[in-house]
Amino acid sequence: MKKSIIAFAALLLVFACSKNEQKGNLHITGNIKGLKKGTLYIQRIVDTSLIIIDTIAIDGSSAFESHLDLKSPEMLYMFLDRGTTNSLDNNLSFFAEPGNLTINTSLDNYIADAKITGSKNNEIFEEYKKINSRFNDTNLSMIEQKFNAIKSNNSKAVDSINAKQNSNIKRKYLFATNFALNNRNYEVAPYIALSEIYDINIRFLDTIQKAMSPKVAKSLYGKKLTQYVATVKSQN
Confidence band of 7 (pLDDT split at 50, 70, 90): very low
CATH of span 2-118? 2.60.40.1120
| Angle, in degrees to the nearest 10, between helices 188-196 and 155-182 | 160
Per-residue pLDDT reduced to its tens digit, 86-110: 666 799 999 999 999 999 999 999 9
Q: Is pLDDT of 145 > 50?
A: yes
Q: Is pLDDT of 12 > 50?
A: no
Residue 21: the pLDDT is 52
Comparing 8 with 115, the larger pLDDT belongs to 115
Q: Is pLDDT of 15 > 80?
A: no
Q: Is pLDDT of 142 > 50?
A: yes
Is the pTM higher than 0.85? The answer reads yes
Q: Where are the domains of the chain?
A: 2-118, 122-235
Average pLDDT in the 215-225 region? 98
Measured distance CA(162)–CA(3) in Å, rounded: 83
Q: Given CA atoms 21, 123, 169, 221 in this order, what sign does their dihedral have?
A: negative
Question: Among residues 189, 211, 198, 227, which one has the least CA distance to residue 75?
Answer: 189
Confidence band of 20 (pLDDT split at 50, 70, 90): very low
Contact 101, 94 (CB under 8 A): yes
Question: Among residues 207, 140, 209, 200, which one has the least CA distance to residue 171?
Answer: 200
Contact 190, 219 (CB under 8 A): yes
Average pLDDT in the 175-181 region? 98
